[in-house]
Amino acid sequence: MNKVDLSVNVGSLKLRNPILLASGTVGYGNEMSEFIDLNKIGGIVTKSLSLKPRKGNPPQRVVETSAGMLNSIGLANVGVEVFLKEKIPFLKNYDVPLICNIAASSIEEYVECTKILTGEETIKAFEINVSCPNVKEGGLQFGNDLNAVGEITEKVKACTNKPVIIKLSPNVSYISEFAKVVKQEGGDAVSAINTLVGTSFNIFSKRPKLFNVTGGLSGPAIKPVALAKVLEIKRSVEIPIIGIGGIMNWKDVIEFMIVGSSAIQIGTANFINPKIADEIIKDLENYCSTNGIERISELTGSYII
Amino acid sequence: MLIVKSPVEKTIKLENNIILLKVYAPEISSTIKPGQFLNILVSDSYSPLLRRPFSVCDIEGDFIFLMFNILGEGTKILAQKLKGETINILGPLGHGFNIEGDYNTAVIVAGGLGAAPFPYFVRALPKNKKNISFVGGKNSNDVITYGLNNISVSTDDGTMGYKGTVIGLLNENLELLKKDKIKIFACGPNPMLKALKEFTIINKFECEISIESAMACGFGICQGCPVESTNTKDKYSLVCKDGPVFNVKDIVL
């Protein structure tokens, strides 16, 4: 078996392989470390962090749907201060690129969080969750507003020299317009896609199953949508893409890379099999080796249409 | 925490459509404590997609028993498993019952399928502890007494035992309970647990309850199973990691 090069670059961010663990499905690393060797993973993306700790939504927060699940966790997290004090020391034990996901309810809060975190050397990049309500604008999501996404990218970039990845919402007409704005304002990469808005009702009580009424749909049910969004971005903007959406196995990873992803994130699958990242990395090595692919990065955007 | 593929030994149909699944799982049977749970993937297909939480009903050597009734797609698939077919088990998960401690008699209070974790609980009790059980149900079809001893039964409609709730039945036996040094261990529907909390606070009984919640992962990363804590208003406890067994005083029901 020939040695295969699984390493990839997402802009200036170098990863030993294209497998990242998605925000909200890996906590702050410690639970997952019981199942997999974090040193073998391409990188981990933290649970969304906000300036202050957030309690999150009351139950019910998750509901299973056909080949997927809805969640409305409500950005429950420890906040940046506790993260630096209590979570970073554990992560320092590992040689795994750490990407901090940031959530906020104002542009100032995004900036403030980035400023506080950027000095921490363990953090290699930021992923900005723009699928959060903008409190000043009456709760409209930043992610649905081109100007807001542009302004967040510009202002976050201005306060860090680490790569800034904007995690795009699929709940828009043209996701590529948002990717263009990110590029214009100096963003280093986009991750696509965040969850799709969905809901589920109890047919007997006629009440929503989630306390928050709607939630974010994830899992294999959304994979075709995610692939189409990644392809749309790839065909209209030159910016590195991290593909996300229902990846369950190595074949899904290859498919996401073919349509344009430089790296990918595993999300919901971690809940079902916390060892999945490890298994997929081995399978990818095997696939490349048997198919004469020397560098997996060759696959990115290799589609033939 | 382990992930194991465990072969089914047999499926036993109890009364009232309750199913007992006997599974070969030595790694689990040798380490799990009463009240801990397992998150089980019933098939490799995407439907159902997620694992399902089950308490361990009983243990016999290298075998574990799961108790359930057929409610949805997952339990339907589980009930149809043949000998030799496997299920994928993640566990043991969470905190179980504290069976040691300063009491003489374990008082089990179970509503409906809430009886599931107690056969193993009874088996695991220290030799110097006695146990009695109060089992409630909506009607006689809802009463599950498998693996329990010294049982008193209540039904809402009076089709079996005391007519009324299991808390009513406890109140009927209050004098008896107060004579002994007891600790209550309970599992059942939320209204029952709510009433039980009040009952135990009024009567100053120690009480641990096992609660249910929707969840995805079962080990703390999805944050899908919050329960309000009485100790802090700033954050929720998680049923999977901080529970599923709680001191009744520690959570808001």
Which chain B residues have a beta carbon less than 8 Å from that of A53?
234-235
CB-count exposure of residue A133 (10 Å: 0-12, 13-18, 19+): middle
Which tens digits make up the pLDDT trace of B157-210?
999 999 999 999 999 999 999 999 999 999 999 999 999 999 999 999 999 999
DSSP code at position B102: S
Could you tell me what percent of chain B has a pLDDT over 70? 100
Domain ranges of chain A: 8-57+73-196+218-299
Rounded to 5 degrees, φ, ψ at A245 are 145, 90
Complex confidence, ipTM: 0.94
Active site residue A132: yes
Q: What architecture does CATH give domain B211-253?
A: Ribbon (2.10)
- The per-residue pLDDT string of chain A (305 residues; one tens digit each, 9 = 90 and over) reads 568 999 999 999 999 999 999 999 999 999 899 999 999 999 999 999 999 999 999 999 999 999 999 999 999 999 999 999 999 999 999 999 999 999 999 999 999 999 999 999 999 999 999 988 777 777 778 999 999 999 999 999 999 999 999 999 999 999 999 999 999 999 999 999 999 999 999 999 999 999 999 999 999 999 999 999 999 999 999 999 999 999 999 999 999 999 999 999 999 999 999 999 999 999 999 999 999 999 999 999 999 99
CATH number for B97-207: choose from 3.30.1330.40, 3.40.50.80, 3.20.20.140, 3.20.20.80: 3.40.50.80
- Which residues of A lie inside 8 Å of B (Cβ-Cβ)? 24-27, 31-32, 34-35, 47, 53, 55-64, 66-69, 71, 73, 76, 219-221, 248, 268, 270-275
Global confidence as pTM = 0.96
Q: In this complex, do A25 and B41 lie within 8 Å of one another by their Cβ atoms?
A: no
> Least CA distance to B90: which residue of chain A?
A273
Whole-number Å distance between alpha carbons of B195 and B212: 16
Which among A32, A56, A273 is the nearest to B221, CB-wise? A32
Could you tell me what percent of chain A has a pLDDT over 90? 95
Whole-number Å distance between alpha carbons of B246 and B209: 6
Tell me: pLDDT of B38 over 60.
Answer: yes
Whole-number Å distance between alpha carbons of B217 and B239: 11
Q: What architecture does CATH give domain B2-93?
A: Beta Barrel (2.40)
Task: Specify the amino acid at residue B43.
Answer: S
Task: Specify the amino acid at residue B150.
Answer: N
Minimal CA separation from B178 to chain A, in Å: 36
Which among B220, B224, B227 is the nearest to A62, CB-wise? B224
CB pairs under 8 A between A and B: 95
Q: In this complex, do A55 and B235 lie within 8 Å of one another by their Cβ atoms?
A: yes
Residue whose structure tokens are 């950005």: A75
Helix (H) or strand (E) holding B121, with range, is: helix B118-124
DSSP code at position A292: T
Domain ranges of chain B: 2-93, 97-207, 211-253
Which tens digits make up the pLDDT trace of B92-148?
999 999 999 999 999 999 999 999 999 999 999 999 999 999 999 999 999 999 999
Which tens digits make up the pLDDT trace of A173-231?
999 999 999 999 999 999 999 999 999 999 999 999 999 999 999 999 999 999 999 99
Contact A227, A299 (CB under 8 A): no
- Which residues of B lie inside 8 Å of A (Cβ-Cβ)? 1, 3, 41, 46-51, 90, 213-217, 219-228, 234-236
Is domain A8-57+73-196+218-299 given the CATH code 3.40.640.10 in the classification?
no
